[in-house]
Amino acid sequence: MFMEPFTWMSTQAKQKAQRPSELFKDGIGMRRPVQGTVARGFLPYAFTGNPDAAGRSLLNPLPMTKDVIERGKAGFLTYCSPCHGNFGAGDSRLRGQFPNPPTLHSDKVRNWPDGNIYHVITEGQNVMPSYSSQISRDDRWAIVNYMRVMQRAHNAKESDLK
């Protein structure tokens, strides 16, 4: 049995973007999306300007596994360490050039729910910009997991070593 190659899609009749069209009255081929259309993977962030609601509502979907922590470490060292330092102590190489960023080991940050930290990475806070366009959703959560590991290591008790 012989099957002909499936090549007809490249030669089929179709409207190409940016080309005129006789099909539509206005002659424009590229159409505006229907109002309310959201591109796949681009749902609007529901907690804009509301870190407390983000902290209460957002739960970290990623497990605390070695792979996730390694992924979070890579993201932290790339995006966060220039200001917060390699270990999150706020002692970066930019210290003194800008307002000093907070340590990520303070009681305030340690007591934040994961959703609050995710929100700050997503929206920014004070002089920290939003990283939502640079860091994917899952990578932001991985960074939160890595921050929790650093906080636990920095504030370890003797009982943690046993």
Domain that residue 71 falls in: 51-156
Q: Looking at the domain assignment, is residue 61 inside a domain?
A: yes
Asked if 83 and 92 count as a contact pair (C-beta separation under 8 A), the reply is yes
Domain membership of residue 56 (yes or no) is yes
Instruction: Tell whether 67 is covered by a domain.
Output: yes
Residue 162 falls inside a structural domain: no
In a domain, 21, yes or no: no
- pLDDT tens-digit series, residues 21-57: 888 889 888 888 899 898 887 788 899 999 999 999 9
pLDDT value of residue 52: 92
| Strand-pair partners of 95 | 98
CA–CA gap between residue 16 and residue 106 (Å, rounded) = 55
Nearest alpha-carbon partner for 99 in 127, 73, 120:
127
Q: How many domains does the chain have?
A: 1
CATH of the domain at 103: 1.10.760.10
**Which of 36-50, 90-104, 146-160 is the least confident region?**
90-104
pTM recorded for the entire structure: 0.76
